[in-house]
Each structure stands twice: as C-alpha cells, then as structure tokens.
A and B are shown apart, each in its own frame.
Chain A
Amino acid sequence: MSPLKDNSIFSWTYELVADTLGGPEWLAYGLGALAVIMVVVNGFLLIGTIFTWMERKVVGRFQSRVGPNRVGPFGILQAVADAVKLLFQEDIVPRRADRLLFNAAPIVMLAPSLLALAVIPFGAGSYVADLNIGVLYVVAMSGIASLAVLIAGYASGNKLALLGSMRAVAMLLSYEIPLVMALLGITILAGSMSMVDIIAAQSVPFVLVSPLGALIFLIAMSAELNRPPFDVTEAESELVAGYLTEYSGMKFGVFYLAEFSNVVLAGALFAILFLDGWEWAILPSHLWFLIKVFGFLFVASWVRATLPRMRIDQILTFAWKYLFPLSLVNVLALAVETIAWPDPSGLQLWIMVAINWAIAAAAIPLLSLVVHLGEPARAGRRIPLSEEVF
C-alpha cells in the first residue's frame, strides 16, 4: 500500500496514463511518481529562489536601501537574472583542486535537502511519504550537508576554503546535538516521529508547549544553516567566501540555491514541528503552510540584517555550555510531563504550556548565573571625558 495513492497529482497522472491512454500499470505508476517529484522539487526550489529575492529585499529595507528593483516588477525576476548570469559564467576549476570532489560537492549539498522533502507535508494530504521515522530521516539528511561543506573546502585547494570548512564541521557537529535534543522533545510530546502524526498531535502548537525546544531549534538551526550570527563558514569579512571561495558559475549557483533551499526546509520543519503545520482556520491548508514558512524566513532575514558574527570558539562554547544543558532540561521536563499525562487533553496541554514557560523563564537566567559564576557582568562602557591634556 503506497501512501502515494492519496496524492491527487499522482492519482490524476496515474488515471490519465493507465485508464484514459491505456498504458501499462508500471508506466503509469512511474510517470505518476515522476509528476509528484517534479512538482515537489521544483515547487520547493521555486520557493528557495523566491526567498533569495525576498531576503535581499527585506535586508535592503532594514538597511534603508531599496533592494533589487530592476528586473521585473519589484525586482522579483532578480533571481532569474542571477541564474542566467551564473550559467554563462566561466566554470573554473583551480589547478590545485581535487577535480572529482570539487565537482561532486554541489550535488552532495543540494541532493539531501531535496531528499528530505519526501517527508515534508506541504498541506493536508500533500506529502510524498509519511515515514514513521520522518524526523530522524530529516535530521539524517540535513547532516549530509555538512559533509558537502567539508568536501568543498577540502577539494578547493585553497587555505581560506579549508579554514571555512574546518569551522563548519566543528560547528555543525556541536549544534547537531542540541538540535536533535530539541526534536526529541517534540517526538516525546507527540509520541511519534511521523510528521503527519506530529501535526495531528498539536491541538496546542508546540511552540507554546515547548518554548525552550523552539528556541533551541531556532538557534541550532541557524548554526546548521550557516546563518548569522553563526555564519563563520562563509564569514565574508574574514574568509572572503569560505568554502565557496573557488566556486564559480553554476556550481556556485547550486551551492547558493542549496543554501537558501535549506533555509526554506528549516522553515518548513519549524512550521510542522512547532507551528501546527498546515492547520488553521479559513484559508486553504497549503496557503497556511506557506504563510508560516515565510514567517520563519522573514525572521531569518531579520536576524541576518541585525546581528554581528560570533567567533568560532564562542560558538562552540555557546553550544556546549548553554544549548546542551538547556536541551537536557527541555527533554527532562517534557518526559516527566508525558509520563504524568500520557494522552493529554486540551486543558492538560495548557497546564503543560504554563509549566514549560515557567521552566524556560527560570532555566535560562539560572543557567547563565551558574555558567558565569564569579565573572563580572559584561556591559557596554560609557567612557569618561577629560578636559585635561598631557
């Protein structure tokens, strides 16, 4: 029994080929599946492309600029213009590069995020597969991206790129743990790793039930995605473009697209795991899903426009000293609550909301107090003036 049977695009194509045209069943099945993949992958990449434009526009407004406004209305075709430019750009492979790995890295970067799409429900009933280990599968797929960064940095034969990829691996390994712990909290709450079940379990959105988890997820995700303030991998002002330094042409384009698509994927995950997925009133489910994803993307652009970059050692310290203990507290609290109420009713969920917000409000200052015990508080200085000279 394939979950594909529920899919309207699949069944439409299947019926068209098998019944109307009288083709063989295996062909109908294959074409139907291909149609679904086409729609999902291209729709996803389209959203990723729109996000590149949106981010430039949003960050532009934050910086009191206009942003792209030349190509198409409001510059919305800017991404197309960029892609055309990249297609026609010379594809340079440096002499010192490891050719095979250098060429493979962009594919290794983009492919996992496309694979992860399989379990993402974009709306009521709109998913390719409802894996019973959906969350684990997505985490596994997103972990591969860090391998691509390492390959790209190593294969470029460039010291700056190598530095960038070294940073990336150190950071991604550290942040994978709090990220997984945050997701663990969600699976404990929902009692399932399936995306569809998790959405079904959210009679109260999990962002309210597990505020610590949502916070940790947001922070760890921006590290996973190399977004500010964790963008040490690219670190324009330090490493020129980090692991991307030697890439040009469409290989660079694929990296760029993969990076932005990963943010969209993260937005989709956040919408599913914490914002009740597609469910809400009045509007159609796909639209709600998109609204939630773009809300996440807007916040991501906002953070990017605001925060300076952290140093690599501070980033690692932050992961192990703050996020990791916090994620333990989060998991512990949720586990105890789930034992108390294995199948929580609406009221019990709201009581959990109250408890978890109290825990979050207490744990964060307490942890910062413990970690910084004996250290003077850091504060901005207002320097003295002197009328005297010499």
Chain B
Amino acid sequence: MHTQPVIVNIGPHHPSTHGVFRMRLTMDGENILDVEPVIGYLHRGSEKLAEERHYTQVITLTDRMDYVASMTNNQAYVLSCEQLTGITPPDRGMYLRVIAAELQRVVSHLVATGFFLQDLGAFATPLMYAMRERERVLDLFEMLCGARITVSYMRIGGVFQDAPGEFWPALRRILDEFPAFIDELEDLISDNEIVLSRTQGVSVITGADAVNASITGPVLRASGVSWDLRKAAPYDVYDRVSFDVPLGEHGDNYDRYIIRIREIRESLKIVEQCVAQIEPGPVRATTAMLFRPPVGESYVPIEAPKGELGFYLVSDGSIAPYRMHARAPSLINLTLLKQMLVGWKLSDAIVSFGSIDVNMGEVDR
C-alpha cells in the first residue's frame, strides 16, 4: 500500500504547548518521523529592552521571562549585578532571597507536575490540586512584595522589604501542611498504572547526551548526573543549609516527574532551615537607585527551577547595561527534543515535551 508521511503542526495555538511553542511533526500515522521545533512567537526583546533601562529597572523585565518562577529570575539578575558592583547584601536579605527562591521552586515544580499530568490526559484533577497549593504560596509572595506573579521582590543588595509579621506564621502553616499535600498528590499519581505505562522508559535521555547538550536542572539530574549549582557553586546562603540532591537513574519521563516531587520536599527542608537560621537585621545594603558600576562584565549562574539560569551583564560604566544576555534553561533544555521524540507516538511527544518543563516566556524572551 502506498503511504506517505504527513506533516502535522502542533501549535502555536494548541492546548498543551505551554504557551506558543510550535512543533512541525512529520508523522507516519501515529509515529513521529521528524520534529522541527519553531520558536519565537513570544519574543519581546527583553534583552534589548534591558539596554535602555537602568540596572534596577531591569529587574521588572526579568519577572516576565520565566513568569512561573519570577523570584529565581530576580535572584539570578541581582546576583550578577552584585558581582558587577561588588555589593554584598546583608545576611537577612540573603536568607529572605533563599526562602523566596525555594518557595518559587516549589511553585514552579507544582506547575510543571500539574501540566505534565494534564498532558498525560488526567482531566485537570492533578493540575487543580497543584494550582490550589500554588495559590497558597503565591499568597506568601503577596505578603512579601504585594505581587503574586511578577514579583520584582529582589533588589541589588538585598530584597525590596523585610517580611511583614504575618508572613512567618503563614509560612509555618505551609511548611507544616505541605508534606501531607505532596503525599496526597503522590498517592494519586506516582503508582498509577496508566501513568507508569505511559511514562516509564519513554523518551530516555542518557547522562552523556544530556551533558553534551548542556541540559541542566531536573532534566539533567533525572538522567543520573549529579549537578546542582546550589551545591557546586553556592550563592546567597546555600552553603549554610544542608539538603539532598535527588537523582534519577533512567532519564525517562517518569524520572523527570518524580525528581520534581522529590525536589519540592528538599526545597521545603531548605526553607525550614532558613527559618531557623534567619536573624533580625537589615534586609538591603544601601545602594543608590541609579548607580554606575565599573566597566566590566559579570555572570553568576544559579539553580533555577528549570535549570542553570544566569544573566551575563556587560557594563560600559553607564547607568544601563551595555548588553544583557540571559542563559535561559528552558531554551537550552529543548536541544534534545528531536532525539527525545523521534520514534515515539504523538501522545508521547506531548508528554515528553511537558516533562522538560519549558516556559515560553523564557525560551523566546
């Protein structure tokens, strides 16, 4: 029988391309023969805009890159600025940053897990559970800085303001109640036969391939490569807390899911320790709103929820960066997409794409 491959466009308008990602799939029936990712539908020129704004203003631009994890974007940017200017934030500021960043990691992983299962076809139930808990963490962000998504909480030399009084009991309550919620989510999903048969052994990335493609974050660790910048190059106060790095063995979709669940638990452990260690004091080094860093360049990579995130800044001595470049983990983690998808079925393509957990705001910037 004469058959011919069909090219199917998935996206940019599609329920599960996590924004405006587009895949041109060459398909033989249900089987994928070739994948051509097309990006750029959410390009807003953030890096160029940064050249027109002074250093503090750029913080608001970073919020809008990975809009599911604004806190860590802020953190990566201000750390880079601090390296450029030589400002050291006070201890309390650094602790607040780590608390905020780890809570953000919890939020990001919840969203990733929720949408991953949505892609798997669970009719929104795990997603709704995840979103429900996410709202509670966002309430904390609202207490910290008045915003829930585009937080702009961190400043060069610390954070915007100290946490208000009601923040600590609210945080306590979340720390106490969250493990039970994670257990609930795991009861629903982790041993579900359909989830296991759909995800185990699918779209395997080997450790060597992952390193070659400079994949970072949970996707890399799911392939069994132990690399976490919080341990490898500690920033802020990560050298003062102890936590474990969960590692996958198989590098398949299931490992990428379960590793995020484990990382949520580890993040809660870090927040717990920060709450115990934090002491009263100033939260922000006094810096001028407008300042001129010395001529030079800086890059501080951090372990963002999706992988290594860093802002490369070049200063020409003016009030605005001469050039800013973001090393966006979402974009670079997409490198192996073709290798992951070819040979699998359309249903797997959607799930595997979901398991990388990309954010189009960060891919296109």
Contacts and interface: CB of A to CB of B under 8 A. Distances in A.
Interface of A: 59, 62-65, 159-160, 163, 166-167, 228-229, 231-232, 235-240, 304-314, 378-390
B147 interface: no
B347 A389 contact: no
Contacts of A388: 226
Interface residues of B, number: 53
Nearest to A166: B29
B196 interface: yes
Contacts of A237: 15-16, 118-121, 350
A64 B200 contact: no
Contacts of A240: 14-15
B227 A235 contact: no
Contacts of A166: 29
Contact of A308 (B129, B192, B247, B249): B192
Contacts of B364: none
B14 A378 contact: no
B259 to A, nearest CB: 6
Contacts of B8: 159-160, 163
A119 B9 CA distance: 45
Contacts of A379: 191, 196
Given A63-B124, A308-B120, A309-B194, A383 B258 contact: yes
Closest CB pairs A-B (n = 7): A309-B121, A63-B128, A385-B244, A380-B191, A237-B16, A308-B122, A389-B231
Given A237-B121, A310-B121, A383-B248, 17 more contacts: A64-B128, A163-B346, A228-B123, A237-B350, A238-B347, A240-B15, A305-B123, A307-B192, A307-B194, A308-B195, A310-B198, A311-B347, A313-B30, A314-B197, A380-B196, A385-B246, A390-B232
A390 B227 contact: yes
Interface of B: 6, 8-9, 14-16, 29-30, 117-125, 128-129, 132, 188, 190-198, 200, 226-228, 231-232, 244-250, 254-255, 258-259, 262, 345-348, 350
B15 A378 contact: no
B350 A238 contact: yes
Q: Which of B193, B227, B258 has the most CB of A within 10 A?
A: B193
Nearest to B195: A308
Given A63-B129, A311-B348, A390-B226, A383 B196 contact: no
Nearest to B13: A240
Contacts of A238: 16, 121, 346-347, 350
B345 A312 contact: yes
Contacts of B194: 229, 307-310
Nearest to A378: B196
A85 B188 CA distance: 36
Nearest to A239: B346
Given A237-B119, A309-B120, A380-B191, A389 B197 contact: no
A312 B197 contact: no
